[in-house]
Amino acid sequence: MTEAYAPAADPVRAEGAAAYMKHIAPFLGIPTPRRRALSKAVLAGTGRPDERDCTAVALRCWELPEREYQYFAVDYLRRYVASCSSGFLPVLHHLVTADAWWDTVDLLAAHVAGPLVAADPALAREMDRWAEDENLWVARTALLHQLRYKEATDTDRLFGYCLRRADHPDFFIRKAIGWALREYAKTDPTAVRDFVEGARTRLSPLSVREALKNL
């Protein structure tokens, strides 16, 4: 992978990307379409991985400094999350806490944590613990893991998490509360509207604004 990505590096783009992401990590400066084309070439001829392969790829990518390698891992996990069991959750916890920022955490929440919990409902109790975690990225992952659930959303957990973290001072938690509610509003706008009205004095203005944006 490094042999494919490194020659495509663009230092000017890299500096702009790093600045946009608040210098959470260095970048190679490879635009997303080009990066994904390179990834496709890297993976050509490889078979479907098992959980051990997914773990090895993810951890190796997280060891490399440039952010594009972590994007490779996120895309890889999104594609092959069905190969992973509940035993992958500790690895996911590492991925959402190491060099954490919204660009990787949000995709891992919706496309890896979400499917893992859907496949093994017992993991919902782990999400309950994550929702209370002091690490804001772990808590944000719990808040966002049902983003793609639609009618399968566990509304008790969705609304419960929102209330439990409503007083969190960080922008990323308040934004996640609003985003999770706004997404579920596409499925049940009345439930979201009623919840927000009942909890308006507890939710931050940001969370309320985001939740009701499309209602």
pLDDT digits (tens, 9 = 90+) for 3-40: 999 999 999 999 999 999 999 999 999 999 999 999 99
Q: What's the pTM?
A: 0.96
Question: What does the pLDDT look like over 126-164, one tens digit per residue?
Answer: 999 999 999 999 999 999 999 999 999 999 999 999 999
Question: What does the pLDDT look like over 72-102, one tens digit per residue?
Answer: 999 999 999 999 999 999 999 999 999 999 9
> 114-142: b or e for each residue (b if 16 or more CB lie within 10 Å)?
bbbbbeeeebeebbeebbebeebbbbbbb
CA-nearest of 190, 189, 117 to 154 is 117
Give the pLDDT of residue 212.
98
**Alpha-carbon gap, residue 36 to 33, rounded angstroms:** 5
Give the pLDDT of residue 30.
98
Give the pLDDT of residue 1.
80
- Decide if 118 contacts 153 (C-beta within 8 A): no
Give the pLDDT of residue 65.
97
Q: What mean pLDDT, rounded, does the chain reach?
A: 97
Give the pLDDT of residue 205.
97
First to last CA, the chain: 44
Q: How confident is the model at residue 165 (pLDDT cuts 50, 70, 90)?
A: very high
